[in-house]
A and B are shown apart, each in its own frame.
Chain A
Amino acid sequence: MNLTPAPVAAIASHLNPVHIEAGNRTLAEMQDLASSLTFASLLTDDGFEIVHLNGTHADGGRFASMSSSVQALSDAVAHELKIGTNEYVIIASELGHVIQLRVQGHPIVLAALFDTHETLGKGLSIARIAARRMAELIA
């Protein structure tokens, strides 16, 4: 067993108070931009929830795990087809759109569920702003 303490910089995001604080702020600001946002979560690449939007009752832990799988599978498809870096993942369903994207420079994914009152384009732009904001706050 490896008992060497991890260096401070290596604190996992879901255990890192700075990342949690930044995540809460990012999602709150995101909600102010879009009333159609019904759920949002920031998660580590390996599927741990860092934060989710307050007041929603979806199972955040499970959503985080599924989002991380979906993200990785999409990356694998992009890699297989040699179409460059995967920028967004969109799941457009009858009653809502899920939009996922990476927080640049960090092993963190933003996943957001919008109801269908939002156009996909607006959802994408809000998600992009939020991901950039998160990157800024933890830079």
Chain B
Amino acid sequence: MSEHVVLFAGPMGSGKTTAIRSLSEIAVVSTEATNTDRETADKETTTVALDYGEITIDDVTKVRLYGVPGQKRFDFMWSILAGRARGLLLLINNDAPDSVALLLEYLNDFRELHARGAVVIGVTKSDVSETPSVADYSAALTAASPDQLIPVFTVDPRNAEEMRTLLLTLVASVEMRELLAPAPTPISENI
């Protein structure tokens, strides 16, 4: 059985916790706290340490799903968990102010993981805000790093099938990278 570790990152309210809950086959480990910042994201709770779930794909591949808090003040959790991952699923909520610039910012925050592994972008809440378009994100990504092709999809994290498609794309990309450059021994493999 092969195993992958994938990190869900992106702004507060982009749907990371929702996505992991949609995908996971095990009861998700969550660390939700009462949200006092309703301006940034109007929801009851917010993740303050991590989300953890697991899913088996193709019967032989286990994927460990880690979600991080979206807020920058928890960036120590980003470093702790990014070290374990080889794939990054970056979710960006389309209704965030200046969401294209925000995406580039988050991608830059995870550049170390990006350099080592694979990245897929999921644009969420496109039912809430129709713009920008996937093409707008792609154009900005190409302008920022012309030599890389990062796939961008729209996705609803509440929809397990859609999330699964995104995850399979990411896992395929991680496996491709591993064929080209085998992973160095991770610092810590298990929680």
Contact = CB atoms under 8 A, between A and B. Distances in A.
Interface of A: 2, 6, 12-14, 44-48, 61-62, 65-66, 68-73, 75-76, 80, 107
A12 B31 contact: no
Interface of B: 29-38, 42, 46, 48-50, 69, 71, 73-74, 76-77
Nearest to A106: B34
B36 A69 contact: no
A4 B9 CA distance: 29
A126 B49 CA distance: 27
A44 B29 CA distance: 21
Nearest to B47: A72
Contacts of B33: 44-47, 68, 72, 107
A72 B49 contact: yes
Given A2-B38, A48-B36, A68-B33, A61 B49 contact: no
Contact of B42 (A2, A44, A46, A68): A2
A71 B31 CA distance: 9
B31 A75 contact: yes
A62 B72 CA distance: 10
B74 A44 contact: no
A69 B31 contact: yes
A44 B73 CA distance: 13
B36 A46 contact: yes
Contacts of B38: 2, 6
